[in-house]
């Protein structure tokens, strides 16, 4: 066992893990070695999941993980494992699914206790150092878990097995036929019942931007999608005056969520996945000011050297030597306050969402800045994360690949981004790269890799599309370009939208893709230099005659025979006569 003061995490491919390298806790990374040590020592595993820009993760780190007494308790009675949810979304999803058996207040930091065989038997989120407001203190939790482990081992094992059986039952209980497009759209439209009539947004508690839901609603109820986006964005005049408005900061980026029903107090961290998808939504809804601000935020704040985007900006800034949540955002615009740090992890899925949103913006609005940003990120990802499509990289830090396995969300989101970039530019190389990634991608599984297998509950969309939704959506888009029914059949096999029908807010991306799979693809091939109004129509793909010929030769059948400058409207690969501009 490592002595206090050693920093096992110093060389990790994660800013979050590196933040904990000097803790008095003897942290390990998730993997077989940690669980093997737990079996050898006969102690449970404590897994702490968070991410580098998580405010309450920082708080628990300062209060507990920096405390030598807590470090000693963890070293003596547990094998302690640190997990970056951005680097290991598979582990995060598995542990979050198990934690739902113990608490409804899910979030990060996530604190899970597991047997040496990898079975969760107790979980929570943030624990204060001492008991407070009905929450047990972390020291008390460690003591109680340790006592239960040594004195009531059979009961602990029984709890762990009950959790696993509940997850198995949930995964097995999805019967019936896949819903048709009409039923899917009706389920999505029904979320209007949760709209807050007084302050806007959904629900009457904390307000989230709900980016995947807004993107799905654009296809179903544009008015509702517009109201929800406008509620989160707040007032343009406030932004112009140098402040923040609801969830939108003065530099155009959106915060994670609002802590109050009236949007008055944001939680100040800003995530790539939220802002990329909100850019996509704002572009489709024609919210020019919001979209332009989001492009600027991606360019000026999250873009890293090399062209890719950081996964997030921290909630905290350093003000007068202390870490303060929202410090930079709350200071006057002319004050000298250090900007919040970035979590510099480059995650494939999140960058894919950004590439797609930027490409859609470039196609519809002729935004050259957005196009340059999309190209730069795509070049970086193809060179460093997808040079071998069969060995896709999930994440990297400073150009160094993480050992974490790529996910179906990575493959699907990157492929969708590349297909959108092909549609905006007509360049065959992006579509060819997307196809290679999808053909090499295994279908999603329900176990996590790199450690003991943990069963996952039914897939759901979180702040990004689930693996099912991302992969199936990209396969459907590839089918729309190639006409190869094998891609559509695989999309239908990958996606099971039935759980999302019961809770559309938890599965909007799944439902959006399900509706598209259920209907023939509608596409609009634009050869030459189409007017702006036509470029904004759904399903547009712009190419020169030469590009169309290259795409057709590469197997993208939608472009076959389309050489004259004109608009070609197609449904299910049956095209109307070309309409001259």
| Pairing status of strand 316-319 against strand 322-325 | antiparallel
Q: Does residue 176 carry a pLDDT above 80?
A: no
- 315 by Cβ neighbours in 10 Å (0-12 / 13-18 / 19+) ranks as buried
Range in 126-140, 163-177, 501-515 with the lowest mean pLDDT: 163-177
pLDDT at 444: 65
Q: Does residue 55 carry a pLDDT above 50?
A: yes
Q: Say if 42 falls within a structural domain.
A: yes
Range in 92-96, 313-317, 445-449, 556-560 with the lowest mean pLDDT: 445-449
Among 472, 492, 519, the domain boundary falls at 519
Tell me what the mean pLDDT of segment 20-28 comes to.
Answer: 95
Q: Say if 152 falls within a structural domain.
A: yes
pLDDT at 14: 95
Give residues with Cβ within 8 angstroms of 537, minimum separation 6. Answer: 524
pLDDT at 99: 84
Q: Does residue 5 carry a pLDDT above 50?
A: no
pLDDT at 3: 43
504 and 550 part of one domain: no
Q: Say if 10 falls within a structural domain.
A: no
Which CATH number belongs to the domain containing residue 140 in this structure?
3.40.30.10
pLDDT at 537: 94
pLDDT at 457: 37
Q: Say if 2 falls within a structural domain.
A: no
94 and 207 part of one domain: no
Residues paired with 342 in a beta bridge: 313
E strands in 247-296? 257-258, 266-267, 270-271
pLDDT at 244: 92
Tell me what the mean pLDDT of segment 211-231 comes to.
Answer: 96
Range in 47-51, 77-81, 179-183 with the lowest mean pLDDT: 179-183
462 and 569 part of one domain: no
Range in 72-86, 153-167, 262-276, 333-347 with the lowest mean pLDDT: 153-167
Q: How confident is the model at residue 121 (pLDDT cuts 50, 70, 90)?
A: confident
The range of the structural domain enclosing residue 570 comes to 520-581
pLDDT tens for 465-486 read 999 999 999 999 999 999 999 9
What is the C-alpha separation between 247 and 254, in angstroms, rounded? Answer: 5
163 and 185 part of one domain: no
Mean pLDDT across the chain, nearest whole number? 90
Q: Does residue 58 carry a pLDDT above 80?
A: yes
What is the C-alpha separation between 493 and 388, in angstroms, rounded? Answer: 25
| Pairing status of strand 257-258 against strand 120-124 | unpaired
Q: How confident is the model at residue 211 (pLDDT cuts 50, 70, 90)?
A: very high
Q: Say if 109 falls within a structural domain.
A: yes
pLDDT tens for 358-404 read 999 999 999 999 999 999 999 999 999 999 999 999 999 999 999 99
Q: How confident is the model at residue 161 (pLDDT cuts 50, 70, 90)?
A: confident
| Pairing status of strand 346-347 against strand 266-267 | unpaired
Tell me what the mean pLDDT of segment 16-34 comes to.
Answer: 95
562 and 492 part of one domain: no
Q: Say if 322 falls within a structural domain.
A: yes
Q: Does residue 411 carry a pLDDT above 70?
A: yes
Q: How confident is the model at residue 132 (pLDDT cuts 50, 70, 90)?
A: confident
440 and 473 part of one domain: yes
What is the C-alpha separation between 396 and 14, in angstroms, rounded? Answer: 8
Tell me what the mean pLDDT of segment 335-351 comes to.
Answer: 95
32 and 60 part of one domain: yes
Which CATH number belongs to the domain containing residue 266 in this structure?
1.50.10.10
Q: Does residue 452 carry a pLDDT above 70?
A: no
515 and 526 part of one domain: no
DSSP string, 350-408: HHHHHHHHHHHHHHHH--HHHHHHHHHHHHHHHHHTSSSGGG-BSEEETTEEPSSBP-H
Domain total in the chain: 3
Tell me what the mean pLDDT of segment 131-150 comes to.
Answer: 87
Q: Are 471 and 412 in contact (CB under 8 A)?
A: yes
Between 288-297 and 368-384, two packed helices, what is the crossing angle to 10 degrees? 40
Q: Say if 58 falls within a structural domain.
A: yes
Among 476, 499, 519, the domain boundary falls at 519
pLDDT at 445: 53
Among 127, 145, 172, the domain boundary falls at 172
137 and 193 part of one domain: no
459 and 581 part of one domain: no
30 and 82 part of one domain: yes
Highest mean pLDDT among 323-337, 387-401, 457-471: 387-401
pLDDT at 276: 98
Other Cβ atoms closer than 10 A to 243: 17
Which tops the pLDDT comparison, 452 or 258?
258
The whole model's pTM is what?
0.87
Tell me what the mean pLDDT of segment 126-152 comes to.
Answer: 87
Number of helices followed by number of strands (H, E) in the chain: 24, 19
Q: Say if 315 falls within a structural domain.
A: yes
Q: Does residue 152 carry a pLDDT above 90?
A: no
pLDDT at 105: 76
504 and 412 part of one domain: yes
Task: Give the pair of three-digit tokens for residue 58.
Answer: 């920082």
pLDDT at 171: 52
Tell me what the mean pLDDT of segment 221-246 comes to.
Answer: 93
pLDDT at 416: 98
């Amino acid at each position: 066992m490592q002595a206090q003061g050693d920093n096992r995490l110093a060389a990790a491919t994660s800013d979050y893990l590196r933040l904990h390298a000097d803790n008095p806790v003897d942290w390990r990374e998730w993997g077989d070695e940690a669980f093997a040590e737990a079996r050898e020592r006969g102690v449970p595993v404590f897994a702490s999941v968070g991410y580098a820009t998580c405010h309450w993760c920082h708080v628990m780190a300062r209060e507990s993980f920096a405390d030598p007494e807590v470090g000693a308790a963890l070293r003596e009675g547990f094998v302690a494992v640190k997990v970056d949810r951005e680097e290991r979304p598979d582990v995060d999803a598995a542990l979050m699914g198990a934690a739902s058996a113990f608490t409804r207040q899910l979030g990060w930091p996530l604190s899970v206790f597991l047997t040496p065989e990898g079975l969760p038997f107790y979980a929570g989120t943030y624990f204060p150092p001492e008991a407070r407001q009905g929450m047990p203190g972390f020291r008390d939790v460690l003591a109680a878990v340790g006592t239960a482990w040594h004195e009531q081992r059979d009961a602990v094992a029984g709890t762990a097995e009950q959790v696993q059986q509940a997850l198995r039952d949930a995964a097995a209980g999805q019967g019936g036929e896949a819903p048709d497009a009409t039923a899917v759209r009706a389920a999505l439209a029904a979320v209007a019942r949760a709209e807050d009539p007084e302050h806007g947004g959904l629900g009457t508690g904390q307000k989230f931007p709900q980016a995947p839901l807004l993107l799905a609603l654009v296809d179903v109820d544009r008015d509702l999608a517009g109201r929800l986006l406008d509620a989160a964005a707040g007032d343009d005049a406030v932004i112009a005056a140098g402040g923040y408005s609801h969830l939108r900061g003065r530099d155009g980026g959106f915060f994670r969520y609002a802590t109050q029903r009236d949007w008055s107090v944001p939680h100040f961290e800003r995530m790539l996945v939220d802002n990329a998808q909100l850019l996509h939504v704002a572009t489709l809804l024609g919210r020019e000011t919001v979209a332009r601000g989001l492009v600027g935020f991606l360019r000026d704040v999250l873009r890293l050297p090399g062209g890719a985007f950081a996964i997030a900006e921290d909630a905290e800034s350093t003000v007068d030597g202390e870490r303060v949540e929202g410090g930079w955002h709350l200071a006057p615009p002319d004050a000298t306050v250090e900007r919040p740090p970035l979590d510099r992890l480059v995650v494939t899925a999140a960058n894919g969402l950004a590439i797609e949103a930027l490409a859609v913006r470039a196609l519809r609005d002729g935004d050259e800045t957005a196009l340059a940003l999309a190209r730069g990120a795509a070049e970086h990802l193809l060179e460093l994360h997808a040079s071998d499509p069969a060995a896709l990289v999930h994440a990297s830090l400073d150009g160094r690949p993480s050992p974490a396995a790529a996910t179906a969300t990575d493959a699907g989101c990157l492929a969708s981004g590349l297909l959108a970039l092909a549609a905006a530019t007509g360049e065959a190389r992006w579509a060819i790269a997307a196809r290679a990634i999808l053909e090499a991608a295994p279908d999603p599984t329900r176990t996590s890799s790199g450690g003991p297998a943990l069963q996952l509950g039914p897939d759901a969309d979180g702040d990004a599309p689930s693996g099912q939704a991302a992969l199936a959506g990209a396969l459907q888009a590839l089918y729309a370009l190639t006409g190869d029914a094998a891609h559509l059949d695989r999309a239908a096999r990958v996606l099971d939208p039935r759980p999302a029908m019961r809770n559309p807010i938890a599965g909007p991306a799944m439902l959006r893709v399900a509706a598209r799979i259920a209907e023939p693809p509608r596409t609009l091939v634009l050869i030459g230099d189409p007017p702006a109004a036509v470029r904004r129509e759904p399903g547009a793909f712009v190419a020169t005659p030469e590009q169309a010929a290259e795409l057709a030769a590469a197997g993208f059948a939608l472009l076959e025979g389309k050489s004259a400058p004109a608009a070609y409207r197609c449904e299910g690969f049956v095209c109307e006569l070309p309409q001259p501009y």
